Structure 1
Amino acid sequence: MQKKSFLPVLALGMGLTANCYAADNPFADVPADHWAYDAVSQLAADNILEGYEDKSFRGNHQITRYEMAQMVAKARAKASSGEDKVLVEKLTAEFQAELEQLGVKTANLERNADRVKWSGVFAQKAMKGNPDEHTWWEKELFLNVDAAVNENWNVHAGVDTKWGSKEGWNSEEGFADAYGASNVNVSSMLYQLYAKGAAFKGAFATLGLFTPGLQEGFVGNARTKGMELDYQIRKTSLKAYGGNLHEKVSDMSSAWSDAFRRHGNRGDFEYVGTGAGGTETGFKDQRLRAWGLAAEQRFTDCTTAGIGYYNLHSPVAYGDSHLGIVAVNLRQRLADAWELSGFYSHGNQHYQNKAYDVKFIYNGSPWGDKKVGGSFGYRYLGSDALIMSSVVNGSEKPGRKGWEASLWYHFMKNIQIQGYLFNGTAINKAYDNGAHRTAYFTSLLFSF
C-alpha cells in the first residue's frame, strides 16, 4: 500500500486547533518548541492521533494511506467551523478510496444518529380533588426517546419525572410515598419501554411495557408488561393484548378513597409492616394480570365504532374469580368542528357493573393544530366495569359519576393550557354523604 507523510495530518491539526489552546502533549519526541507541537497535541487530545506503544509520535515515519484515512474519518466528526470543514473535505477527496473502505462503519454511525428522536412535554399543574378543598401543585417532565432499529421495528422509552408537595394529594398519602421515594418530593419512573414493528403482513406487534391501544383506552388503559397485536384488514382493526399490569395501587383501586371499591370492598391493595410505616405491596405480589380483544371498524370518514372484551385477574379483589367486561365505543363526526364520542361497558361482578362516558368535542384533540377547543359530557364510571380508564381526569378515579367540561388554548406553537372541571359525586353515596364534589385539573404545557 502506498505510503504518505504526516504533513496532511499536521495541516489537519493546525486547521482544527485554530483559535484554541493546545492540550498537553503526550508524545516524548515532540518538544514544546517544535513547530508542530500545537497541532499534534490537539490531535492527540481529540483522539485523532494515538501514537505508538512507546508513547512516541515518530513524525518522520511514513504512514499508509489507510492509516491516514482513519484519521480523516475521525476528524470529520470533530470539524465544526467553516474553515475546518473545507480542510476536512479536501482531505476526504484525497483519501476517498480508503474512506470508502471505512464507509460502512462511518455511514452506520451517521445513520444511527438520525434514527434517534427526542421529544417531550413539561407541565406546570394545579389540581384540586374530590374529598378535600386544598389545591395541589405539581411539575411534570415527560421525556420520550424513539429509535429506529430497522425499516420495520422501532424502540420507544418514556420517562416520567414529577415534582410535588409532600403534604399529599386528594387526602391521600404524601406525594413522595405514593411514588416510592421516601422523604423527597421528586420522583422519576420509567413509564414506557417497548419495541414495536411488523410481525407479519398486515400485523404489528408491541413488546415490553406499554399502554394498550384498544378502544381508545376507555376500559383497559392500565400499563401492561406483555404483548399487543394489531391486525389491519382494510377498514377493520383487530387488536389483542395480554400481560401483567404495571400501575401504582392508588391508580387502580385506592385504599384511602372510599368512592372507589372493587367488588364492594377495598380491593386491589394490601399493606405490609406496622402502623404508619407500612408500604404498598404493589401488583407484583398480587399478580394482577389482564388481557383484552377488540374489533374496531371505520364505517365512513365520519363514523368509527368498536366492540371488545377485557379480563382482569385480581386475587385480592375477586379471589379465584375474574372480572370480565364487554365494551362498545363510538366516535361520530357531526360537523367540521364537532364530534360525538362515547363508550359503554358492562362487568360481571354485580357491584358497580356498568360504566359509560358521552361527550361532545369541539376541534378535536388539544394536540392538534387548532387554536382553541374543548369538550362537555357526562360520565358514570362503575369500578367493576373498568380496569383503568383513559377518561378519568377531573373525576380522578372510577367509582364516581357527574359532568365534566374541558377547555384548551394554544398561546403559540408548542405552548398551551388545558383545564378540566368535574362536578359529581360517588356512585355509592354512602361514601360521599350525598354531597356533590368539584375537582379541577389545570396544566400549562410546553412540548418539544
Structure 2
Amino acid sequence: MKKTLITAITTALVVGAASTTFAAANPFSDVPSDHWSYDAVSQLAKDGVIDGYGDGTYRGDQKITRYEMAQMVAKAMAKSDVSAADKAMIDKLAAEYADELNNLGVRVSNLEKKSDNVKFTGLMRLDGKRYNNSPVHNDDTVGTGLLRLEVNAAVNDNWNVKARLDGQTSLNQDKALNGEDKVTLKRIYAEGPLFGADTKVGKFGAFDNESLTNGGLIIDTDLTGAEFIFGNALKTKVTYGRLDTEDIANIGYSTSAADYAAIQFGYTAGKVALGAGYTHLKDNASGNTTGFTNNYGDDKVGIWNVGFDYALSKDFTFGGEYASSDADAKDVGYNSDEEKAYSAQLTYKGAKSDVAGSYGLWAAYRSIGELATIAPTYDGAEAGLKGYELGVNYMLDKNIMTKVVYFDGSEITSDTDIKKVFGRLEFAF
C-alpha cells in the first residue's frame, strides 16, 4: 500500500512537471500551417538567408515542428550580411521562438560564435620595488597598482579587433599614479590574415625575438603602425610604425614620436630556437636638442640582434640574446659598453596559470646598454645597468601568481652599485 502510494505520488509529480515544461514550450509540437512564421521563413529562404533543413531544402508543403523552426531561425540569426527588412523579420522570429532557442538549448555553432563574438579578459596587478641608496635610485619602496582589461571582438572567421585598457594607481600615496586618475587606451588594433601574413594594424605591442622565451632585450612596449609575420618554422616579422619617445627607457620625454622599423627572423626546430634581426629608430621631431639626439648621439640609431634558446632537458632551458648599436657612446659621454646589450639566462620549469603550485626559477646575467635598447622587458635589470638577477614565479592558486626578482649589479657608465628587489602579485580573469 505504502509502496503503491509513493509510486503514484512520484508519477504525478513527474507528469505535472513535464506538463508544465511542455506547456511553456514544446519543441515537438507542430507550428500551425496558418502561423505567420511560415510566410516569414519562406521569405527568408527565398532571399537566401536560410537554407531550410539540414539537407539544404525547404519543404514548404510539410508540417514544421517548433524545434525545426527554431533551428532555421538560429541559422538566420548567425548571418550578418542581410537586408534591413530580413533583419527585422529575423528579430521577430527570434522573439517568437525564444523559449526553444534559449530554454531548450537549441544550438547552432554559428549562432554561438556570433552571440559570443566579444570576449573580455584582464588582470589586477600589484607591484613593488625597492633600490638601495644611490645617486640615481633612492631607497624608497615604490608601489603601483594596475587594472588591465583586454577586449577581443570577432569581426568574422579571420579577423579580430583587440584593445587594452589600463588604469594605474600609486600604492605609496593612495592616489592615481603621477596624479592622473584616468584609464588609458594602451592598445587598439585589428589582427588577421593579409597578403599571406598574420597581420596587425593599429596600436599594438612590439617585442623583439618573439620566437625566444628570453626575448625582449631591445623592446617590449606599444607602437602605432603595422606588423606582418610570414612563415611557420622559419618566421619573418616585419614591423613599421611610430613610437612615443616617452616610452623609450633612456629618453622619457613626450614631445615627439620616433619612426620605428624592424625585421626579425625566428626559427624553431626541436630543442632549439634561433632569432636575429635589425631595428631602426629615427626621431621625427625637427630641431629637438634635449631628448633623442642627446641620448643616442644622432637623430637615428640602428640596432642588430641575435639570440637563441636551447632545451637542456625537460625542465631546464638556457638562452641568451645579444644586441649591438651603431651609435657612438663617446658622442654622448657614455662608456663604450653602453653600445651593446646582452642577456644570458638559465630557467628551471615555469609557472602555469591554470596549475596551482606550479613555479619557475631563473638565474641570469644582464648588461643593458642604453644605446642598444629601446624599452627592455626585465623586472630586475634596467637600461643602463649590468649585473646578476635571480627570480621566481609561483602560482598561489589558479590564475593567481606571485613573482619575486632580486638584482645585484651596477650602472654601466658610472659603475655605481645598484641593488633592487621587485615583487608582484597578479590576479588574472
TM-score (normalised: structure 1):
0.64
Give % identity. Answer: 24
What is the SS of the residue equivalent to 1:112?
helix
Deviation of 1:400 after TM superposition, in Å, equals: 0.8
Q: 2:292 corresponds to which residue?
A: 317
State whether residues 152 and 163 of structure 2, in contact with CA within 8 Å, keep that contact through their aligned partners in structure 1: yes
Which amino acid in structure 2 is aligned with residue 313 of structure 1? Answer: K
Q: 2:260 corresponds to which residue?
A: 290
State whether residues 339 and 360 of structure 1, in contact with CA within 8 Å, keep that contact through their aligned partners in structure 2: yes
Q: Deviations over 1:172-205 (max 9, x none)?
A: xx9633xxxx4x5x4421122111111133x211
Q: Deviations over 1:291-339 (max 9, x none)?
A: 10111111x3111111100011135423764110000011111111000
Are residue 445 (structure 1) and residue 426 (structure 2) matched?
yes
Mapped partners of 1:373, 1:245: distance in 2: 32
2:188 aligns with one of 174, 189, 193: 193
Are residue 305 (structure 1) and residue 274 (structure 2) matched?
yes
Mapped partners of 2:282, 2:38: distance in 1: 63
Q: CA RMSD in A?
A: 3.3
State whether residues 292 and 298 of structure 2, in contact with CA within 8 Å, keep that contact through their aligned partners in structure 1: no
Aligned pair in 2 of structure 1 residues 339, 93: CA closer, same or farther (>3 Å)? closer
Q: 2:198 corresponds to which residue?
A: 204
Are residue 436 (structure 1) and residue 417 (structure 2) matched?
yes
Are residue 347 (structure 1) and residue 353 (structure 2) matched?
no
Q: What 5-or-longer segments of structure 2 have no aligned partner? A: 1-19, 26-33, 42-63, 80-89, 95-107, 210-214, 286-290, 330-337
What is the SS of the residue equivalent to 2:206?
coil
Alignment of 1:352-431 (within 5 A): 352-364=338-350, 367=353, 369=355, 371-391=358-378, 393-395=379-381, 397-429=382-414
1:328 aligns with one of 306, 312, 337: 306
Aligned pair in 2 of structure 1 residues 95, 242: CA closer, same or farther (>3 Å)? closer
State whether residues 217 and 341 of structure 2, in contact with CA within 8 Å, keep that contact through their aligned partners in structure 1: no
How many residues are aligned here? 324
Mapped partners of 1:406, 1:187: distance in 2: 32
Please identify, of 99-108 and 208-217, the stretch whose mean Cα deviation from structure 2 is larger: 99-108
Aligned pair in 2 of structure 1 residues 124, 200: CA closer, same or farther (>3 Å)? same
Q: Deviations over 1:9-66 (max 9, x none)?
A: xx99x969xxxxxxxxxxxxxxxxxxxxxxxxxxxxxxxxxxxxxxxxxxxxxx9624
Aligned pair in 2 of structure 1 residues 409, 98: CA closer, same or farther (>3 Å)? closer
Mapped partners of 1:323, 1:423: distance in 2: 29
What is the SS of the residue equivalent to 1:140?
strand
Q: What 5-or-longer segments of structure 1 have no aligned partner? A: 1-10, 17-62, 71-89, 169-173, 254-259, 261-266, 270-281
Alignment of 1:46-445 (within 5 A): 65-66=36-37, 92-93=66-67, 99=73, 103=77, 104=79, 105=90, 110-129=112-131, 131-165=137-171, 176-177=177-178, 182=179, 186-201=181-196, 203-215=197-209, 216-232=215-231, 234-246=232-244, 249=246, 251-253=247-249, 260=250, 267=251, 269=253, 282=254, 285-298=255-268, 300-314=269-283, 316-318=291-293, 321-351=299-329, 352-364=338-350, 367=353, 369=355, 371-391=358-378, 393-395=379-381, 397-429=382-414, 434-445=415-426
Q: Deviations over 1:208-245 (max 9, x none)?
A: 1111243033213231100001001x420011101111
Mapped partners of 1:366, 1:110: distance in 2: 29
State whether residues 65 and 98 of structure 1, in contact with CA within 8 Å, keep that contact through their aligned partners in structure 2: no
Aligned pair in 2 of structure 1 residues 175, 93: CA closer, same or farther (>3 Å)? closer
Q: Deviations over 1:349-396 (max 9, x none)?
A: 1212100011101113665757121111111001100121223x123x
State whether residues 66 and 98 of structure 1, in contact with CA within 8 Å, keep that contact through their aligned partners in structure 2: no
Which amino acid in structure 1 is aligned with residue 188 of structure 2? Answer: L
What is the SS of the residue equivalent to 1:390?
coil
Deviation of 1:92 after TM superposition, in Å, equals: 4.1
Please identify, of 238-247 and 373-382, the stretch whose mean Cα deviation from structure 2 is larger: 238-247
State whether residues 355 and 382 of structure 1, in contact with CA within 8 Å, keep that contact through their aligned partners in structure 2: yes
Mapped partners of 2:72, 2:260: distance in 1: 56
Which amino acid in structure 2 is aligned with residue 337 of structure 1? Answer: D
State whether residues 121 and 445 of structure 1, in contact with CA within 8 Å, keep that contact through their aligned partners in structure 2: yes
Mapped partners of 2:380, 2:263: distance in 1: 28
State whether residues 220 and 387 of structure 1, in contact with CA within 8 Å, keep that contact through their aligned partners in structure 2: yes
Aligned pair in 2 of structure 1 residues 126, 68: CA closer, same or farther (>3 Å)? farther
State whether residues 65 and 95 of structure 1, in contact with CA within 8 Å, keep that contact through their aligned partners in structure 2: no
Mapped partners of 2:248, 2:353: distance in 1: 26
Mapped partners of 1:382, 1:101: distance in 2: 58
What is the SS of the residue equivalent to 1:389?
coil
Deviation of 1:100 after TM superposition, in Å, equals: 7.0
Which amino acid in structure 1 is aligned with residue 282 of structure 2? Answer: H
State whether residues 142 and 172 of structure 2, in contact with CA within 8 Å, keep that contact through their aligned partners in structure 1: no
